[in-house]
């Protein structure tokens, strides 16, 4: 499952270039280098690239409830970690639990919530908890899709039930801004257009693996019909391009 998640969610180098710009903007008021915290880090989609920003980030602490995800994160870090000044620490657990929050500590110039806020039962509590990990003048970087952005993703046309599931649990931009505002943060919003290209065989293969939870929740009949239609629509192609817009909300501590 982790490998399938990486194939679907991994960032390309051009995409990371744009996110790196946003990270530097988020921590512009901090004394640098600072520490970064990735909550719900998964296999390191954001945490591992953060370790390359050695002039800005001295340590990355990555937290996740899944040991499998953290094991994959460690393997992903190995090829770049030996030549980097930035250190990486992993913590297994739920950051909303007191014992885990104590282990995390505080004093982070950057706290990342990347594609995780929609999976948390109490997102406002999660944002408030994330804000408590911040150092003075630190910032939260929240990355997610809005329901409107999800509807523009082409693959959902083959799996409309999955779209409804995902739209139900994702938040609109004004709600995201409100969560950060309620935590006492000033906000700014950016939209990043991500582009991925796959050989057709790889593209179809990743859908066969049902890489998202919504695809695993729809009925087998709906999934099989959608997959058959997707295969038919790509049968004359050699590669498939996919674009998606992601909303990034940066919430900064008041000066």
The pLDDT of residue 204 is: 94
The pLDDT of residue 6 is: 43
The pLDDT of residue 122 is: 95
Listed in sequence order, the residues at least 6 apart from 113 whose beta carbon sits closer than 8 Å to its beta carbon are: 39, 40, 126, 127, 130, 140, 141, 142, 143, 144
| Within a domain: 209 | no
Q: How many domains does the chain have?
A: 1
| Within a domain: 164 | no
| Domain harbouring 105, CATH code | 3.40.50.150
Listed in sequence order, the residues at least 6 apart from 239 whose beta carbon sits closer than 8 Å to its beta carbon are: 197, 198, 199, 200
| Within a domain: 157 | no
The pLDDT of residue 75 is: 85
| Within a domain: 156 | no
Is residue 72 within 8 Å of 43, Cβ to Cβ?
yes
The pLDDT of residue 84 is: 63
| Within a domain: 28 | yes
The pLDDT of residue 66 is: 94
Split the chain (255 residues) into runs of 10 and give each run's mean pLDDT. 44 84 94 95 90 88 95 80 73 97 96 96 96 96 97 95 96 98 97 91 91 91 96 95 94 86
The pLDDT of residue 12 is: 76
Cβ count within 10 A of residue 46: 25
Q: 87-92 and 108-114: which strand pairing? A: unpaired
| Within a domain: 73 | yes
Which residues constitute the domain of residue 12?
Answer: 2-145+170-195+244-253
| Within a domain: 68 | yes
| Within a domain: 236 | no
């Amino acid at each position: 499952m982790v490998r399938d998640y990486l194939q679907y969610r991994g960032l390309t180098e051009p995409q990371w270039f744009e996110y790196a710009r946003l990270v530097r903007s988020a921590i512009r008021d901090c004394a640098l280098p600072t520490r970064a915290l990735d909550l719900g880090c998964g296999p390191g989609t954001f945490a591992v690239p953060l370790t390359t920003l050695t002039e800005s980030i001295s340590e990355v602490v990555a937290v996740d409830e899944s040991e499998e995800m953290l094991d994959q994160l460690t393997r992903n870090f190995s090829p770049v970690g030996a030549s980097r000044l930035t250190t990486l620490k992993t913590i297994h657990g739920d950051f909303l639990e007191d014992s885990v929050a104590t282990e995390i500590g505080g004093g982070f110039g950057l706290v990342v919530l990347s594609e995780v806020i929609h999976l948390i039962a109490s997102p406002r509590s999660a944002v408030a908890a994330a804000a408590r990990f911040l150092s003075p003048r630190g910032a939260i970087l929240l990355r997610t899709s809005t329901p409107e952005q999800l509807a523009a993703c082409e693959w959902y046309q083959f799996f409309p039930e999955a779209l409804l599931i995902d739209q139900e649990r994702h938040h609109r931009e004004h709600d995201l801004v409100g969560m950060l505002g309620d935590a006492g943060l000033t906000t700014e919003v950016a939209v990043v257009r991500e582009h991925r290209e796959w050989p057709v065989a790889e593209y179809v293969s990743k859908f066969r693996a049902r890489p998202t939870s919504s695809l695993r929740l729809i009925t087998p009949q709906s999934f099989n019909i959608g997959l058959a239609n997707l295969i038919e629509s790509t049968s004359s192609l050699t590669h498939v391009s996919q674009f998606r817009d992601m909303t990034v909300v940066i919430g900064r501590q008041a000066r």
